[in-house]
Structure 1
Amino acid sequence: MHAPRTAAAGRTASPATARLINDRLALQLLQSEGPLTAGQLKSLTGLSRPTVADLVERLQDAGLITVVGESGAQRRGPNARLYGIVADRAHLVGLDLRTHSVTVAVADLLGEVRDERTAPVGPDDTPGTAVSTALAVMDKSLAAAGAHQPHTIAVGAPGLVDPATGRLGGTDWIPSWHAALVGELRARHAAPVLLENEVNLAAIAEQRDGAARDRDTFVLLWLGHGTGAAVVLDGTLRRGASGGTGEIGFLPVPGTAALPTASGCDGGFHSLAGSAAICALAAEHGLPAAPGTGPGTATAPPSGAAAGTPSAVADADAPPAEAVVRAALSAGDTGAAFLDALAARLALGVAAVCAVLDPGCVVLGGEIGRRGGEELAGRVGAQLARLSPLRTDVRAGTVGGRAVLRGAVLAARDAAQDDLFTPTG
């Protein structure tokens, strides 16, 4: 008697291992394809009819799938039953933390958002007040979604996330309530709380739902208040030994008056491509200044991947350069000259990344990257072709203003499915 050959692995396995692999394969197909009949599962998996019947029974007993309808207008009976994942088997929470706001989304096991809401955080709020605000809006969102307890919580925040400890740090400018909130979530809930850099989550969203859907390897260049990058190689997000992969703001580049230091990225790529630098470049080209860019305006945060602040939930969180780029797109020759100069700056950072990683694809994300769209992406691509022999497709991000939140929901969904899609028996 031979050990079974699993549809997923294509190699011999113990009966118990074969069941787990086949069950997971069926669940992944039900997620990606939608409800399926037993016959369709048999065709897609290559498993025998009895094996499919057994796994359907196991998954129903585990509460993971159920009959959701019938297939075909004429057919009735067991063979026509459509099986689908029980979406309410688990509820997920994604949080997007900004300087002046928090946005919460509650989703089901399939990643479909059931409720989403935002709460402002005042500039004079104490850390305790900010944490209370965030917890209150999360509780309201859970109640509106009909969820009692979350299965998994994923938090997107600026800053370095230490891979060894899972703690937030690495920069002085990060609001203290961010780390306090993560600690409170872990203390209050039995659910796992995943903490991830916001730019990394935005890359996950672009990979699953956006401009990088057809790419296993790409770099997301984040253009917001500051600059950052996320690196995906062979389908895997790379964080680095200290969580600092993508700290592109510290990259030494020509065209700056100084060099970056261990304590600040002024003089690095940040000094060319951060929001304040872009506003200054616009002024040189005669474009009107965006609100909030005059004397006394706060400077961009001194960090690379940590410095990007994904699309604004509130005006207070939006980088002024977003308005400048928006104006340039309709400013005729003056706007075109500014966009060309900006593209030349951005191409310096992109060329350096490509020389090391050769990703083949760079996505311009963040508020500024998305606002510039294909107009800016095309210009960066043309400049890059002059600097590098490596063929690189430069694209504009397409996920939109909820990239970090969407990435948090997807990360929570992946973690929950890893847990639940491993039925026993």
Structure 2
Amino acid sequence: MSFTTLGLSAELLRAVAEQGYHEPTPIQRQAIPVILAGKDIMAGAQTGTGKTAGFALPLLQRLSERASAKGTRRIRALILTPTRELAAQVEESVTAYGKHLPVTSTVIFGGVKIQPQIKRLRAGVDILVATPGRLLDHVQQGTLDLSTVETLVMDEADRMLDMGFIRDIRKILALLPQQRQNLLFFATLSDDVKTLAESLLKSPALIEVARRNMAKESVEQVIHPVDRKRKRELLSFLIGSQNWKQVLVFTRTKHGANKLSEQLAQDGIRAAAIHGNKSQGARTKALSDFKRGDVRVLVATDIAARGLDIEQLPHVVNFELPNVSEDYIHRIGRTGRAGSEGKAVSLVCVDEQHLLKDIERLLKSPIPKQLIAGYEPDASIPAEPIDMGRRGQNRGLQSKGPARGGSFAPRAMGRTQRLVSRKNVRKSA
């Protein structure tokens, strides 16, 4: 099947071809005709499956068919994303696909000055890509009007809920017209996503192109057992001995990301850290340097890495296993994209055995283990409690392993504590 069979306009087909794409992915084949028909959808797809084009292409076509009145441009489509990086990348895609159409777009997110965003909004745009927090900042300042939105897209809705954006989402929904098209995309179908979908969508088409919570077959996975204090040494050895040129490394905490990037630099390996405490300018530069090859290793936390789109990324390393099993799927999904093969390496110490068991239970299969000569773990070293960082504490995680049940916060917390915790998580994005 080619894009020409999906009912897209000549202008969009031209833009797609200029991007180097010729055959639609499964999510694109299923989603584009449904969205063109004006129906709500609930679409489950892992990262790297082409879902952005899956909603951007039909959205652009629908808007171009009913162009704004001459001299006026109002927000007709709103795309919500959980992180700044994802917002920027989605807007880049919208711009690339819509380059031959009379449709305008812009992006707004926190961490940068608000005045340039206000100027662009006043000039008028058809499509607005935004993170929830900065969007509400503009609403409070009276710099945008959402009363003309025809289509709402919630990209990575599961992550938005996971990050505690539910109250912001409810505020935003209250500002939108009742009659509109709703497109909800998720990677993990949690109970919270189901609840949101029930209140948001009207007779939606359900689209799932990947088995729930499953890793892509194009990703080779391996576990290297190692003592906690020798992880950095082993990582440097692997990068050097195997000549890895581009490596995305995950840590659990912001402090850990900073420390590891500094240690790798001391080993002669150019590295940069990306997390919520970094300014948006620093995050953008680190990602740009990494994509260009000026930085060999990008060390990231889970929230900061959500939405990173790096083509043909060959290696992902779990320097520390994630607190939540599903995050393992999201992490390793950064490699093995668009038909290319990738490798996911996890450095696992004795402290993380319970986390590893939970991940393998989720995958329904063990991950192959390989000892590296000279780095075999010392069996006499006892397990120690894991520092979960702020995110782990907010999600109600204890040192014994991840919390169950999928709630936003542990039941033992009071309402005020839960709200404070969620606010902290949002800020870390």
| Same fold, TM-score > 0.5, yes or no | no
Higher radius of gyration, 1 or 2: 1
**TM-score after normalising by structure 2:** 0.30
